[in-house]
Amino acid sequence: MACVPIAEGVFTWPSDQPRLIGSRCAACAIVTFPAQDSCPRCASTEMEKHLLSRRGRLWAWTTQEFPPPSPPYAGPTGAAFVPYGIGYVQLADELRVEARLTQTEGLQAGMDMELVLVPFRIDDDGNEVVTFAFRPLGGAGGGV
């Protein structure tokens, strides 16, 4: 079974040390994720590809108890749905990203997190689709 990323251009792929792919404005230096073609602050179109830090600190989180609206959600539904953590992780001093978390228990504000790739679903071609998530640094949860 092949592994494929959930979308092109979201994270570095393939990679043992995945990084989220954001963008940085050449004019005002704001960093965005996902990458954008124009700056949300100054409207410049001089946006450069910018790899985000793999590590950050957990800022806030909750548990997704039911499948999100589809589309865009394309993961398991019904009996196959498993609640998952979702949170904001502060990456360096650049930005906070909203992301899936590998666990729903044992989380603490400010704890160190790192980016991992996790199984998301099996697509129509039988490929394992992977997405990104954050797990507590040194934790055992998740990871492809």
- Residue closer to Zn ion by CB (options 44, 108) is 44
Residue nearer to Zn ion on the CB measure, 25 or 91? 25
Question: 14-39: b or e for each residue (b if 16 or more CB lie within 10 Å)?
Answer: eeeebbbbbbbbeeeebbbbebeeeb
Least distance (Å) between residue 40 CB and Zn ion: 8
Binding site for Zn ion (CB under 5 A): 25, 27-28, 39, 41-42, 44
| Secondary structure percentages of the chain, helix, strand, coil, to 5 | 0, 45, 55
Please say which residue, 37 or 105, places its beta carbon nearer to Zn ion: 37
Residues with Cβ within 8 Å of 26's Cβ and at least 6 positions away in sequence, in order, are: 44, 46, 47, 48
- Phi, psi (deg, nearest 5) at residue 6: -60, -30
The residue (of 41 and 92) whose beta carbon lies closer to Zn ion is 41
Question: Is 91 exposed, middle or buried, given 0-12, 13-18 or 19+ CB atoms closer than 10 A?
Answer: buried
Shortest distance, position 49 Cβ to Zn ion, whole Å: 15
Minimum distance from residue 25 beta carbon to Zn ion (Å): 3
| Distance in Å, CB of 24 to Zn ion, minimum | 9
Q: How far is the CB of 96 from Zn ion (least distance, A)?
A: 18
Closest CA to 67 of 56, 83, 55: 83
Closer Cβ to Zn ion, 58 or 95, answer by number: 95
